[in-house]
Structure 1
């Protein structure tokens, strides 16, 4: 087997055949962190660092691990200096999925087969810079070349979705939809919560002086997103997911106390979050949206990195210390059969609990191997667990979860190849016939996410 050849990640001819049956299916990406302004404005990238490194904290973390100074990662060094620094250490990334993704990007998007290292850095820089000057390498065309059919961004409820409105007429052949992400509304313990309330007040007609007005304002933004083609809500649950019955009076009292700037007890914070999570679920159920729950991220764990660079810089971690079964039991029961729920768990030790929960509730689906698990090993382990405990046919499919546009193709390719290999092994071991396996991989790779997120209807564009 040669580097990134047709057998890449495929351990049998059966797996090769299965992958060929899904390789060219359109990409349906229900969860990402795309810079939609970049897509709509459609300006060319200046160089390969802007494409591969400027927004990718996966790349940043690994460069730090190999001793690259921060100035050549997120600092004031030139893009060429950053690219050279990346190339110097890139061979050491071998085994990490970032090594695969970048090389897949170079091969699929630029036709470059050579591995990235200090000796090839100049040649790859020059060749990619030449190609990036071509109109065919602008963001919108790259999306079309990657066969992206649907992408759902992640958006704060206070967003007016200006770029989504422009995308309706300025982005051809790609169905661009927002996703309502009310994390800031739930995080009443954060100093920035009051800022969110003020911003919500600015964009809605409701009176936020009391809790009922606050809920009305959130519902107004929910309707606004629905009018712009939204089909999903995404909630970051952190490490302490909590759902339980909380009275209107109790939640209102906590809201009033928070608005006065008074300190809240842990019990008050938990009660407020539980009430609001149920309210969000009700909004989603009424609108027919899919609710995505991301559980287990420990944000800003590396304190010095957060202090120097802020959030999303590569300082987040996972922990097994999360009780999602007790924490989300009430939520699952409230919306049993009422709304589709996709459960993402960051620590792989939660897969046993997550899969048995999904098995118990037909409307709960396991989301793709998320973040630190988005690798051939992580995807394979998760798919095998879902197949053995729940149903692989009910897996939610793949999402890019990426801020880097060009990586959508490589991430979906890695998933689809691993899916084909996992199912191909079932065929090789005599567990399922080939025709059933072919239907299964096609379903998980394409039909299932469209069905789950209600994307079978025609594009809003």
Structure 2
């Protein structure tokens, strides 16, 4: 019987063990999409206790706790102690079996703190005190944890109006791990609320130094900020969208739509779609001009519980997989760019696993050897799919319909400094998948050295290193 969370966790065959221990495990981490708080890295933040680093902002855990019957005050409340919140999480953990949270929880305890005991009510106090004591040591502060996990680079998620002062400080400090910004301009095309849009555009005008009164001014202001981001090391953009936008439009229409919404009038649904299309094209051209990689995370229905949204705001655990018909619009959007030869390197992340084969075939339509291997990438299993089953389905679709060997691999997509074992989780899953194929005669055992060095090490690290050129 296999032992839970031992050195060969998730590795079902001797070949999988060899691929992981000899190749995957030693690779540095390039975490090219995350939501770390940049200020925590700049100040080398010390976390007061295990709850602070583990539970604050973690809507994955909050969802599980609510489902397990835990009162909201122990998830997001202000009137409960950190220990009380942790205690409720420890009560929940045994009931998360077969949810990826159970795996992540014990991988993080083991790899960060050396804890191999299972977390449950009887071990909660001991584990909490042990980890909290370690967190006071410099090697367990924010930068220390990044070094512990051999993180070579991280890319945070940043709005065009952000100052990037923390990124600049980290660079000036000479910290060994690169912290680079990622351009996330979603608010610049969020025209559903005219008042919020106007406030954002006025702030964009302020930070860019560009007086904005028409659509062309918006683009000029964004270009100023795009160049600033580039000067601080930015090489990626990211867009969180429900679906791809590819409406036909004229410049006259977009000018009129901007004047309407900036003037405080609500737009029709058709006008919203046209404006978002125009903005996405402008963003894509900027990225092509600078050689950046653009990322698209699509398919989420956000803030489904309006009562809890009013109470807690966004990103608190009330989002779900959406059901959108995206194939034609996705193809049309990329073709709008490619027909003028202005389609830059691209990564597509779907949230609905129904779309795996769609995305895996779509990327093949726009590959271009002038950009090197894998210009258009099928992104790793994202959000609800960044677990063993989701990862395997994504890699199987990519293997069948594209080239898994050119995949740029995993990312944390996390706000936590304890989430780096997600890379290990992915690497173990990858090695098990490929190792099983070798054991079953689906891949030649005689090529195991090539598979390990070129394919496994490539997916875990080298492909991303070559693709992003940080």
User: What are the ranges of 5 or more consecutive residues in structure 2 without an aligned counterpart?
Assistant: 368-374
Aligned to 1:442: 457
In structure 2, how many angstroms separate the alpha carbons of the residues matched to 1:43 and 1:258? 41
Q: 1:451 Cα shift?
A: 2.1
Partner of 1:351: 356
Give the 3-state SS of the residue equivalent to 2:332 in structure 1: helix
**Separation in 1, partners of 2:468, 2:313:** 32
CA distance in 2, matches of 1:255, 1:418: 47
Per-residue CA deviations over 1:72-121 (Å, capped at 9, x if unaligned) read: 11102100110111111210011111111121111111111000000001
Mapping of residues 192-211 of structure 1, within 5 Å: 192-211=196-215
Tell me the TM-score normalized by structure 2: 0.94
Distance across 1 between alignment mates of 2:114 and 2:449: 33
For residues 339-376 of structure 1, what are the alpha-carbon distances to aligned partners after superposition, in whole Å with 9 as ceiling and x for unaligned? 10100000100111111101222132100100000111
Query: Does 1:426 pair with 2:427?
Result: no
Aligned to 2:251: 248
Cα shift at 1:56: 0.9
Query: 1:4 matched to which residue of 2?
Result: 5
Matched, 1:134 2:137: yes
- 1:1-400 matches, cutoff 5 A: 1-20=2-21, 21-76=23-78, 77-170=80-173, 172-191=175-194, 192-238=196-242, 240-319=243-322, 321-336=323-338, 338-362=343-367, 363-400=375-412
2:371 match: none
The question of whether the paired residues in 1 share the 8 Å contact of 2:303 and 2:319 is answered with yes
Q: SS at 2:182's partner residue? A: coil
Q: Is the CA contact 1:40–1:171 (under 8 Å) kept in the aligned structure 2?
A: no
Unaligned runs of 5+ in 1: 456-461
Give yes or no for contact 2:182–2:237 (8 Å, CA) kept in 1.
yes
Contact 1:245/1:330 (<8 A) preserved: no
Residue 328 of structure 1 and its aligned partner are, at CA, apart by 1.8
Q: Which one of the candidate residues 412, 424, 440 is aligned to 1:413?
A: 424
CA separation in 2, counterparts of 1:327 and 1:133? 51
Count of matched residue positions in the alignment of Structure 1 and Structure 2: 452
What's the offset of the Cα at 1:335?
3.4
Q: Would you say the 8 A contact 2:49–2:132 is kept in 1?
A: yes
Q: Give the drift of 1:448.
A: 1.2
Cα distance in 1 for residues equivalent to 2:229 and 2:96: 40
Q: CA deviation at 1:245?
A: 4.1
Shift of 1:135: 1.6
User: 1:171: Cα distance to partner?
Assistant: 5.7
Q: Which runs of 4+ in 1 moved over 6 A?
A: none
| 1:331 aligned counterpart, secondary structure | helix
How big is the shift at 1:199? 1.1
CA contact (8 A) 1:373 1:379 kept: yes
**In 2, are the aligned partners of 1:140 and 1:171 still within 8 Å (CA)?**
no
Displacement of 1:170: 2.9
Query: What do residues 113-154 of structure 1 show as CA deviations (whole Å, max 9, x unaligned)?
Result: 000000001111111122112122111011000000010000
| TM-score between the two structures when normalised by the length of structure 1 | 0.96
Distance 2:193 2:412 in 1: 28
Q: Residue in 2 aligned with 1:458? A: none
**Distance in 2 separating the partners of 1:377 and 1:196:** 40
Conserved 8 A contact 2:408-2:461: no
Alignment match, 2:413 = 401
Q: Deviation digits for residues 171-221 of structure 1, max 9, x if unmatched?
A: 611011000001011111135222211110110122211111111001111
In the TM superposition, residue 331 of structure 1 has moved relative to its aligned partner by: 2.2
Range 445-454 or range 83-92, more displaced: 445-454
Distance 1:393 1:305 in 2: 43
User: How far off is 1:169 after superposition?
Assistant: 2.2
